[in-house]
């Protein structure tokens, strides 16, 4: 199986610089162009399944690719972004001012009501395992969110929650994993070259 993990395109909340989490927000004009560019980038492949989280920004990012291949976007609750509790809707500067992180701590540890990291990891890992079992010989696109994709990459690559994946994930960038007889192989990480012509 080849799994293409993609962070949703730019949302209105991303452009405004606020924590989004489980909030349901729309794409910006740039985000819609990013989604179209993603579909163009994947046109040379044979994508056989398209999944996205239940949030609108992920669904709208996945839709142009699904339409190109004559597929439906299948919503997967497990691919939703981490819930960020009281931080949702706040600017990054406000979040940093209100909550401080101790040595080795994560946002979920500091923010009241945030979804615990191990809970997100379990949810994403379980959903991903179901998709892998269903699509052993397929090329599947999964559009999700930065936090959820980080947990997915950790799970697939056998990393612990503490080890993490310290890569900022670009909107509509490709993270491609191929399963071989020897296990999963990371073919690309945060590949955004298809976006160069449309981004300032």
Residue 7 CA to residue 185 CA, distance in Å, equals 19
Catalytic pick among 8, 145, 151, 155: 8
CA proximity to 157, closest of 121, 105, 107: 121
Catalytic pick among 12, 67, 77, 81: 81
For the question of residue 170 being annotated catalytic, the response is no
For the question of residue 8 being annotated catalytic, the response is yes
The total of other beta-carbon atoms located within 10 Å of residue 22's CB is: 16
User: Which residues, 6 or more positions from 183, have their beta carbon under 8 angstroms from its beta carbon?
Assistant: none
Residue 162 CA to residue 169 CA, distance in Å, equals 18
User: Distances in Å between the alpha carbon of 92 and those of 19, 57, 99, 200?
Assistant: 6, 20, 11, 22
DSSP category for residue 74: E
Q: Which residues are catalytic?
A: 8, 81
């Amino acid at each position: 199986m080849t799994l293409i993990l993609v962070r949703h395109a730019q949302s209105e909340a991303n452009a405004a610089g606020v924590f989004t989490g489980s909030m349901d927000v729309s794409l910006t004009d740039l985000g819609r162009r990013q989604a179209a560019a993603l579909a163009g980038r994947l046109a040379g492949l044979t994508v056989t399944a398209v999944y996205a989280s239940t949030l609108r920004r992920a669904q709208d990012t996945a839709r142009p690719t699904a339409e190109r291949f004559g597929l439906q976007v299948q919503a997967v609750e497990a691919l939703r972004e981490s819930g960020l509790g009281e931080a949702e809707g706040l600017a990054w500067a406000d979040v940093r001012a209100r909550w401080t992180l101790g040595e080795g701590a994560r946002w979920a540890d500091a923010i009241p009501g945030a979804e615990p990291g191990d809970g997100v990891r379990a949810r994403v890992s379980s959903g991903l395992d179901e998709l892998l079992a269903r699509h052993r010989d397929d090329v599947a696109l999964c559009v999700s969110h930065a936090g959820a994709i980080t947990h997915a990459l950790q799970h697939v690559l056998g990393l612990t929650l503490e080890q993490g994946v310290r890569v900022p994930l670009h909107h509509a960038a490709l993270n491609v994993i191929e399963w071989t007889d020897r296990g999963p192989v990371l073919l690309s990480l945060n590949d955004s070259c298809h976006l160069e012509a449309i981004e300032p």
